[in-house]
Amino acid sequence: MSDGLETDEEREPDERREFRRPPALAQIAGSILVALAIAAIAVAVVTAKFGSTPVAELEAREERIDARLDAREERQKAREDAREERLEAAEDGE
């Protein structure tokens, strides 16, 4: 041929290239790897968008809320005690 390309018929038998399908096991392994890659990307995107909330962070948030509630209850109790003392002092002064 004048174009420099040979067909399979013109090549020597050891130069012929045949298309072989990959073994089923290799194809399955490749599919599983691609699926894992897709799942990892999805997890990374969701985590980046919403952020992670570790258990320690959630517990610390609950503790801060509890501490605020306790402080509020203590202030309310102190006001009630002070009011009772004023009432008792007013009754003793009569």
C-alpha–C-alpha distance, residues 19 and 68, integer Å: 72
- Asked, for residue 88, whether it belongs to a domain, the answer is yes
3 state SS of 9: coil
- Asked, for residue 28, whether it belongs to a domain, the answer is yes
- Asked, for residue 7, whether it belongs to a domain, the answer is no
pTM assigned to the model = 0.40
Query: Is residue 1 very low, low, confident or very high in pLDDT (cuts 50, 70, 90)?
Result: very low
The range of the structural domain enclosing residue 46 comes to 13-93
C-alpha–C-alpha distance, residues 87 and 93, integer Å: 10
Mean per-residue pLDDT for 44-58?
A: 80
- Asked, for residue 4, whether it belongs to a domain, the answer is no
Q: Give how many domains the chain has, as a whole number.
A: 1
- Asked, for residue 8, whether it belongs to a domain, the answer is no
C-alpha–C-alpha distance, residues 62 and 54, integer Å: 13
- Asked, for residue 3, whether it belongs to a domain, the answer is no
